[in-house]
Amino acid sequence: MDFKLIVALVSDDHTDKVIQKAREMGATGASVITSGRGEGLTPQKTFLGLTFEGQIDMILFIVERHLSRDILEAIAETGHFDTESGSGVAMQLDIEDAVGLKAQLKTIENEIEDQL
């Protein structure tokens, strides 16, 4: 089986919705790294010229390659990545090898059975 790593940098108010949507689309788990900082194209300014940095979470999904593009697009829509500035960004990367997924393999195989 081939896997992809989806990395989503998400505004913390969208984290739970993004994870839920990814699970609906076939992701069997997620790891969340909280309390990150991010800055988009133009830093937001607040009162007295202080920079306001929104808090972001990094969500990591290891997903089967046949599911990866659909999950990527679904979480982008759910997280409003293309419609709200600063709401998040996601990317997928090839995984050369992974261990620790044995318990999830049967579920993954059942989900992609018709695509193999």
| Domain definitions of the chain by residue range | 3-40+47-97
DSSP 113: G
C-alpha 73/C-alpha 87 separation (Å) is: 15
Q: Which of 31, 17, 35, 110 is nearest to 66 (CA)?
A: 110
The pLDDT, as a whole number, for residue 67 is 92
Measure the N-to-C terminal CA separation of the chain; round to a whole number of Å. 10
Residue whose pair of structure tokens reads 């076939």 in the numeric block:
26
High-pLDDT (> 90) share of the chain, %: 48
CATH code of domain 3-40+47-97: 3.30.70.120
| pLDDT given for residue 16 in this prediction | 95
Predicted pLDDT of residue 53: 62
Low-confidence ranges of the chain (pLDDT < 70): 38-54, 114-116
Cβ proximity of 32 and 15 under 8 Å: yes
